[in-house]
Each structure stands twice: as structure tokens, then as C-alpha cells.
């Protein structure tokens, strides 16, 4: 009985990663770093070129290309889907877990999503399994919160008022700071210097620590601050002339004598 000939195993072609922007950028960076390394360049010499910093050069030197590409592929989906996770979570809650990726994929595409359908399906599967990461809250920056507090109440839009109300409810310190800051702004706008001492007492009692420090500085020069919040005169005109003289000094520095600088200060209005 003759034995059946051995069949050579069929070799499958290696799986290719999708040609996304981050994958291609990783390939090009790997080539740009390894090309001078093959010529025995040092890391210091490579970093003097328009390339990444020393840590990145070392990472690309010591890590295999396949591992770098796999890491780049894992970083991409979450970032693409992140702005749309809140919408997907809402749709998932509205339809007791029955929403499918095929149904919501065109919806988020219309909103600007440019990722794949598989990423959406994986997030919905994580929601069903209860393993999805919570969506980060849209927290306004400190600059925006400060701007909303210091602007007059009538100039805020409905959405800005709603956002400020949410921040006040979430943080009692901001609530107290907001009330005191608006009261102090009213003292300035309406020249109610006679109420300054009462404002300082309230701030020193239950205000956040930075505002208590500000109130302490006001108490150290109480008469001058009270006069500034009461009288119609100010040092604004003097400060304007000082600023003009400093500007002229910077412009003529190293180019003219003191006599010319003096003439410019005295002749310019």
C-alpha cells in the first residue's frame, strides 16, 4: 500500500494593517530614525535634525516595527470615537440595549464621524457587557468660568447661564466665590466704597482661601481702596503717560541720545 504524498502546508499571506494616517506616520518615522542609525549616527546627532526628541528616538530604535504599528493601531479607534460616545450611550439607554451598530453608524457619520463601523460595534458590545469606560464630562476651562462670573448677568446667554449653574451646583467653593466676586464687581461699577468693609468681613469668614488672602490685602490699605471705590478721580491718566514714556524709551533704546528721548516725550501729545 502506497503512502499518500505529504501535502505542503498552505502559507497564508501576512495580515496587513489598514493604511491609516497614524499607521503611515509610524512607518515613515521608523524609516527616518533607522536610516541614520544604520550609518552609525548617534542619538544626539539624530535629534539635531527635525525629528522627535531623544526618548522617541530610543523607543523607535529599541522597539520592533510590528509592535510599534500594533500600538499605533490600538491608539486610533478610541480617539476617533471619543466625541461621539455620549451620543451612543444616550441611544443605548433610550432603546434598552437593543440599538445596533448598523443603525447608529449612519447617524454619527452625519455628525462627522470618520472611523470604521467595527469601532462602533465594539463600543456597543462593551455597553451591553457593562465594561465600557465612562464618558468624560464636558468641563469648562477655568478661564471660561471666570469670564462667566465677572461679566454682567444680563450679557450672558441662556446656555452660559445654564453652564455656570451646573458648575455652581457641582462645587460649593465656586458658588461662594461667584457671589463674592459679583458683589465686589458691583462695588466697582457703582462706586459703593462704603460697603467695602462689610464685603471684606464676609470674604474673611467663609470665602475660599485665595479670596480670603485678597480680602486681607485690601484691609492693609483700606483707606486708599475705599477712596478708589468712592471718588470719581483715578490715576488712569497718570498711568497712561507713564506707559507712553516707557514705549518711547523702548523704541529709541540704543538708537538715540537722551536729548532726543526728552524731546519726544515733551513734544508728543
175: exposed, middle or buried (C-beta count within 10 Å: 0-12, 13-18, 19+)? middle
* Mean pLDDT for the chain overall: 78
- Three cell numbers, residue 23: 499607521
Mean pLDDT over 71-93 rounds to 69
User: Tell me: the pLDDT tens digits for 228-246?
Assistant: 899 988 888 888 888 888 8
Is residue 12 over pLDDT 70?
Answer: no
Higher pLDDT, 52 or 25: 25
User: Phi/psi at 252 (nearest 5 deg)?
Assistant: -95, 5
* pTM, rounded to two decimals: 0.44
User: Tell me: the pLDDT tens digits for 200-229?
Assistant: 999 998 888 888 999 999 999 999 899 989
* Torsion angle of the four alpha carbons 136, 137, 138, 144, in this order, in degrees rounded to the nearest 10: -120
Is residue 76 over pLDDT 50?
Answer: no
Amino acid at each position: 500500500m502506497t503512502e499518500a504524498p505529504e501535502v505542503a502546508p498552505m502559507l497564508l499571506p501576512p495580515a496587513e494593517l489598514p493604511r491609516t494616517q497614524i499607521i503611515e506616520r509610524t512607518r515613515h518615522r521608523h524609516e527616518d530614525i533607522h536610516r541614520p542609525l544604520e550609518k552609525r549616527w548617534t542619538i544626539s546627532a539624530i535629534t539635531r535634525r527635525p525629528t522627535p526628541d531623544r526618548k522617541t528616538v530610543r523607543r523607535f530604535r529599541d522597539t520592533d516595527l510590528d509592535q510599534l504599528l500594533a500600538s499605533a493601531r490600538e491608539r486610533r479607534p478610541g480617539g476617533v470615537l471619543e466625541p461621539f460616545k455620549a451620543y451612543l450611550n444616550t441611544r443605548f439607554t433610550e432603546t434598552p440595549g437593543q440599538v445596533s451598530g448598523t443603525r447608529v453608524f449612519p447617524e454619527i457619520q452625519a455628525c462627522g464621524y470618520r472611523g470604521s463601523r467595527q469601532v462602533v460595534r465594539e463600543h456597543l458590545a462593551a455597553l451591553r457587557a457593562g465594561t465600557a469606560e465612562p464618558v468624560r464630562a464636558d468641563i469648562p476651562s477655568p478661564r471660561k468660568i471666570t469670564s462667566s462670573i465677572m461679566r454682567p448677568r444680563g450679557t450672558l446667554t441662556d446656555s452660559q447661564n445654564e453652564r455656570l449653574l451646573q458648575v455652581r451646583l457641582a462645587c460649593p467653593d465656586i458658588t461662594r466665590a461667584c457671589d463674592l466676586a459679583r458683589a465686589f464687581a458691583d462695588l466697582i461699577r457703582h462706586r459703593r466704597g462704603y460697603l467695602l468693609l462689610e464685603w471684606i468681613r464676609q470674604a474673611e469668614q467663609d470665602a475660599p482661601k485665595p479670596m480670603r488672602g485678597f480680602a486681607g490685602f485690601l484691609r492693609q490699605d483700606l483707606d486708599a481702596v475705599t477712596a478708589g471705590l468712592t471718588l470719581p478721580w483715578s490715576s488712569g491718566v497718570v498711568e497712561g503717560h507713564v506707559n507712553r514714556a516707557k514705549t518711547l524709551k523702548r523704541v529709541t533704546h540704543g538708537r538715540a541720545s537722551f536729548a532726543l528721548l526728552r524731546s519726544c516725550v515733551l513734544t508728543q501729545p
